[in-house]
Structure 1
Amino acid sequence: MTEIFDGIDADAPTLARLHQRLERAAQDADLLDVAYRTLDTAVGRLLLAATPLGLVRVAFLDVDGDALATLAQRISPRILHAPARLDDAATEIDEYLAGRRTAFDVALDLRLAEGFRRQVVEHLRDIGYGRRESYATVAAAVGNPKAVRAVGTACARNPLPLVIPCHRVVRTDGSIGQYAGGPAAKSALLELEAA
């Protein structure tokens, strides 16, 4: 199959090479503010995005189809599909979902979490693999024990679900509560970690 690319007939390998050249040129000229790729997983199709500082966004595409538009508004419109820049993050997520990884090592860019939400996200990083905390426990841990609903909102708006484990926060009665990827994804992640 060939496509017309700027008046030139191009097959898939040619288009791939042209895209790789575009990626390298954008990177070399410091014009690539956000690189992204998608990743099909057992818990849904994910969007992974990174800045030069690190992984900035993990989004469940079935739930958050506007993630790229939000990144363009909040960070920069200079966004490019550059999957190779996210290979390490994709590998770590695959290893985690396969039960071969219990913590993430990729660099993170937390600029999308501000104020109280940032405090919650920082605390979430301390909830170990296989552990659970209630929304009330998290609220108390960040110094605002009455902010249980705000903790729920912070978890729902966590820019890096899976990597920053908001799925480990449950209701006081032990029920799982809500999750950015939906309740089935949250249940699957909790079951994975319980195994």
Structure 2
Amino acid sequence: MPNESPELRASDDDREQIATLLRQAQQEGRLTLNEFDERVAEAYRARTYSELAPLISDLPDETGKAPGTEPVSRGTNSDSPQARTAVGVMSYAERVGPWRVPPRFATFAFWGGGKIDLREAYLDADEVEIRCYAIMGGIEVIVPPGTRIEDRCAAIMGGVEREVRGATSQSGIKVLLTGFAFWGGIQIQSKEPGERDD
């Protein structure tokens, strides 16, 4: 991604996540069929995050909470599309407590924030990938001490902070972190279950 361009390119997965949220909104009666058709068409034509974000800015996120509230998801079914993403657009999205983590999970914060807490989570695989996209926002990832971390996150006019107590062996759970922070931040840290969040 070129540093000089403020318009970061969206991936096919990003477009599909927005389309999933739009489908849910239409099924709940928040969008008419015409509105849904127009927005989905725009989502699949979108090239950048700045083109995707307005399509869901007036809708609740995947947990049913309106923008500006603090959605919390516990014990979700990892087979559902909603269980594979956490989206905070001008709001805050988090996954905390006992919840199922699929092998690939994505979180997106645009003018908002997010927290992904794996301390009490049930992982569907010994190795999971957490994709973090912080655009003018911040994402916090918390893992239990001893978790093996592979950090591939990048920062463009932002920052990625890592404060993890390393694993003592190559066995056990591994978390691969990918994504980027653009005018935002990603914080990765390890804490004991029940340890106070600062």
TM-score (norm 1): 0.29
Look at both structures and tell me which one has the larger radius of gyration over its CA atoms: 1
Q: Which has the higher helix share?
A: 1
Q: Which has the higher strand share?
A: 2
Q: Which fold has the larger relative contact order, with Cα–Cα distance below 8 Å and residues 6 or more apart in sequence?
A: 1
